[in-house]
Structure 1
């Protein structure tokens, strides 16, 4: 990974590589060079050790503060190239030190062109310094000079290949990142749409189970009251009272749907009471015979509301379609669950041919609570609706 290719998340990796390179450079470059000059004349030894200490300090500063305006990485690489040339002059050759220092030109340069140029300048300084120290001797030409040139050519080839490889990897990573972002945006949009659809379905189900049923009752009661106006004023007054009560209940449900009231349907622990009140209203409005077995069961709010809505929908279907004379409602608790059975002796229907919103709404409502709805009916044999719900486990 080179500096001109690094991504924001790769800075730590690049710093780690640079530190490992510095450790290798000290062990294989600075220390052997310092040892090699120990037998040199005092003046030459002094200058070379001072130069090695200086370049080590510059390397440390550049490594820890790469954005330092005084010793910019490019300036450091220029100093390193001059140091290699001087070292080559003082030691009569410095190809090994150049080879160990070569990776720094690719780790600190801003662009491949800078790395090629600066490493080439360092190679030229190394060859020139060795030439001044040894002259154009055959030994130098076949040793340090050739080795330095070969190292430079190999370094350029390897560096450019690594630059291309890492660049392609980065492009692929950017492409995958862009695809991932696009996929996340599409998923978020899909979730929003799904949430909107589910919310519309929920509101439609609530409106059907509450407001629509209430308005239907009001219409039926109003028609009956109009008919009873002349022949049975007492019955007419009773039906008008039912209309008023149903309208108030619809108003309360409407406030719940728009968020103006906190809870709806059933007070805590009162499912049996609420079902009895619902059945009493049903008897009062229709005159049908209703038998009920409604024990007081301790149920959570969502279970109570679901069973109440199933009861209301079933009674509405009896009123509109069954032409029944009697209705039975049985609430039963069992270990781990509860079931509600509603039967009538009406005309019945073919279940497979029924695709009404009410039955589908009951099924979805129960399915949200891991429950199940079973409808059994046939023409002339009445209808049986069985709602089964598991009870939530107590932690």
Structure 2
């Protein structure tokens, strides 16, 4: 027997494979049971008509054969059809009993009237649906060959009629075995493909879910950086200015007024940044201006104001690149204001090269150990921004010598 007609296959049925999460629809065989019921009914009706329309044997024998065949209908509806809807092999004992019942009703009917063998076309498929292939072939052999033996023993027909009957049974058996095995193979391949499609659908849904989660996580990271570098830094500056004003009101009114003006400017800047975040527009300092102008405005709001130097061929860059450069300056100046000390001075440098922009922020503060774990979000976000833009970030600092932050960004 060829590889396509293996005999160690499990039983098959007119129902689909196990369901997988994400399967798009039911298997085609689940939707084919209506036509299968119709097929069974048509074969039964045609068999009954041939039996009743025959000339031999006498009418009482033909009526008895039809009566036996009629019992196959409720037997199929009560015992057979529910089995065909189960998973293959789920009720092997019940399947054997159902097929034995078919044989018990079919053999005497076919012995009484040879035309009753026509119903073999309805009795053969359940053998292959409910039994393993090897046993299904054996059952089909009994369905095809025993009726001829019973008919020949009962009526003692001429030898040529027996020969024709045996030949027809052998052909029926060979046809049923071959096509039964072939159809089982087709069903198996269909089930495998359906399972594969269901798994692919489930995988696609999982990929879509993970992609959505990844997108949401990336957006949260972006918003966290934006809020940290804009609103959070602005509120921190406001808090520091409030503390400074409280200590200067009685001792240095002029300096307190200067800090109050700086508080107002910082508050307006924070409001503008909040609006930019809501609308998804450019940072307030970059809106309608160049990167050097935005850095100068940022440096002017620092207390004390930071020095700014710009070298190279100043030109408009990609908006995303200018945002990274500006946020680098904001984060570095904010860290200097919080950690460098009140006497620290800051300087910002923008160096435009042919293929890269270098942003450097230096302070003369107390410094820190860059290798030590950083509890805050700022330096991690600064490095992440630079990496997303294809650049690098370097932090050089030692105790009592200040800190230098250098970010190099490629110009494309």
Shorter-chain TM-score: what band? 0.5 to 0.7
Tell me, in whole angstroms, the C-alpha distance in 2 between the residues paired with 1:291 and 1:334. 17
Tell me, in whole angstroms, the C-alpha distance in 1 between the residues paired with 2:39 and 2:165. 27
Within the candidate set 264, 270, 276, 2:283 is matched to 264
- The answer as to whether partners of 2:266 and 2:301 remain within 8 angstroms in 1 is no
- The answer as to whether partners of 1:371 and 1:387 remain within 8 angstroms in 2 is yes
State the TM-score, normalizing by the size of structure 2. 0.60
**Aligned CA distance change for structure 1 residues 334 and 76 (closer, same or farther; 3 Å):** farther
Tell me, in whole angstroms, the C-alpha distance in 2 between the residues paired with 1:127 and 1:309. 94
Partner of residue 229, structure 2: 209
265-274 or 174-183: which moved more?
174-183
1:106-134 Cα shifts (integer Å, max 9, x gaps): 89x9x779x99xx99x979x979xx9xxx
The alpha-carbon deviation at position 158 of structure 1 amounts to 5.5
Point out which structure has higher relative CO (alpha carbons under 8 A, 6+ apart).
2
Tell me, in whole angstroms, the C-alpha distance in 2 between the residues paired with 1:297 and 1:339. 14
Tell me, in whole angstroms, the C-alpha distance in 1 between the residues paired with 2:168 and 2:280. 87
Does 1:357 pair with 2:374?
A: no
- The answer as to whether partners of 1:268 and 1:301 remain within 8 angstroms in 2 is no
Partner of residue 88, structure 2: none
Tell me, in whole angstroms, the C-alpha distance in 1 between the residues paired with 2:338 and 2:185. 77
Tell me, in whole angstroms, the C-alpha distance in 2 between the residues paired with 1:213 and 1:188. 36
Partner of residue 314, structure 1: 332
Tell me, in whole angstroms, the C-alpha distance in 1 between the residues paired with 2:411 and 2:49. 82
**Aligned CA distance change for structure 1 residues 73 and 103 (closer, same or farther; 3 Å):** closer
Tell me, in whole angstroms, the C-alpha distance in 2 between the residues paired with 1:312 and 1:322. 15
Alignment length, in residue pairs? 322
Q: Secondary structure at the match of 2:249?
A: helix
**Aligned CA distance change for structure 1 residues 105 and 9 (closer, same or farther; 3 Å):** farther
Tell me, in whole angstroms, the C-alpha distance in 2 between the residues paired with 1:380 and 1:359. 20
Within the candidate set 262, 265, 282, 1:242 is matched to 262
Partner of residue 157, structure 2: 136
Partner of residue 302, structure 1: 320
1:76-95 Cα shifts (integer Å, max 9, x gaps): 6568879999xxx9xxxxxx
Tell me, in whole angstroms, the C-alpha distance in 2 between the residues paired with 1:234 and 1:359. 35
- The answer as to whether partners of 2:225 and 2:381 remain within 8 angstroms in 1 is yes
Tell me, in whole angstroms, the C-alpha distance in 1 between the residues paired with 2:211 and 2:387. 20
- The answer as to whether partners of 2:340 and 2:366 remain within 8 angstroms in 1 is yes
379-388 or 152-161: which moved more?
152-161
- The answer as to whether partners of 2:13 and 2:130 remain within 8 angstroms in 1 is no
Q: Secondary structure at the match of 1:351?
A: coil
Unaligned runs of 5+ in 2: 1-11, 18-24, 56-116
* 1:319-338 correspondence runs (5 A): 319-323=337-341, 325-338=344-357
- The answer as to whether partners of 1:271 and 1:296 remain within 8 angstroms in 2 is no
1:115-174 Cα shifts (integer Å, max 9, x gaps): 99xx99x979x979xx9xxx933344335523424532661586268448835962x555
Unaligned runs of 5+ in 1: 12-65, 90-97
Tell me, in whole angstroms, the C-alpha distance in 2 between the residues paired with 1:84 and 1:315. 100
Tell me, in whole angstroms, the C-alpha distance in 1 between the residues paired with 2:122 and 2:407. 76
- The answer as to whether partners of 1:269 and 1:298 remain within 8 angstroms in 2 is no
Partner of residue 108, structure 2: none
- The answer as to whether partners of 2:332 and 2:361 remain within 8 angstroms in 1 is yes
